[in-house]
Chains A and B, each alone.
Chain A
Amino acid sequence: MPNMMKIRINGEDRALGDVVTLADLIAELDLAGKRVAIEKNGEIVPRSRHGEERLSDGDELEIVVAVGGG
């Protein structure tokens, strides 16, 4: 596949093909419509910008949810 990107998601490297924006990635990971928050390279990417935020080789993402805790 052309233009495979290596992206580190939640500490794991993944090779991704047809992914241009963060919204593409969210769909690819079956997270569309889920309550998640995303940090890219240490900066928050607000939900409103997921559609336009482009991913590049070597990006590091943290994708989080709320879980039970004290």
Chain B
Amino acid sequence: MRARFVASEVWQGLRRNLTMTIALIITIAVSLALFGAGLLVRQQVSQMKGFWFDKVEVSIFLCTKNSQEASCNGPASEEEKAQLAADLEGMRPLVQDVYFETSEEAFTRFQEQFAGSPIADSATPEDLGESYRVKLSDPDQYSVITSAFSGRPGIERVDDQKQVLDKLFRLLDGLQVISMGIAIAMLIVTVLLVGNTMRLAAYSRRRETGIMRLVGASKFYIQLPFLLESVIAALIGAILAVAAIVGIKIMLVDRFLEPSFQFTPFVGWDTVWVVSAILIGIGVLLAALSAVFTLRRYLKV
């Protein structure tokens, strides 16, 4: 194996097809960047899910004197409250935590939320009523609580925050599917473009490869420069894509999103590095595979 000879062949090949090489690098960079962005969004969504679902609570509101619901007959009685507390206790480990919010506490929170608004002034602690805040070990199982308690005497209604979040996450999931779809389409384009570029390269160097065959060069020796060319182009493209991903992390996440939305966590550098490694791996692998398959067809020995 003559490393210097192979290196000079590769360099000449890349230079001779300079425009195609540039097109290849840019396509690989764009498609990998899109793919990487899709992966980041995916990671972001699952991180947000973990964060928010952890905080999701099911609220069981007890009847107040104003309640109109059929299950209510004036404020909930002490026996009803005790029965409810005992039932919740019996539902461990699904029920992780139970917090009893008194009308005074609810009133204070309400005053804070609507400070300065006329609603805050007109409300009294009795209007707001008492509630149980139930935290579940598995937020997806909220229907167990709902079906067990809604409609029971003394209970006004059962509210589940997850239903609200579900709508948001369905939107995010949709965005994620779209971005992944675009990224996969771009990766297919990349594979086809690598194949086409290799075909052109094989054609433009048919003199050299023809002589190589005649003097008895091995298949490996004939194909190696082509393979290295596509792998090098893919590597440069992947590095550009990684730069784009790092740019997104710095410009969009660190400088804009994180200061603006402090209540939710964003993807960290560890995720960015994992995604970068995936991009480089996928880029090089796709380029190498597509080059090998094309060369098998166009560079017969």
Question: Is B a genuine binding partner of A?
Answer: no
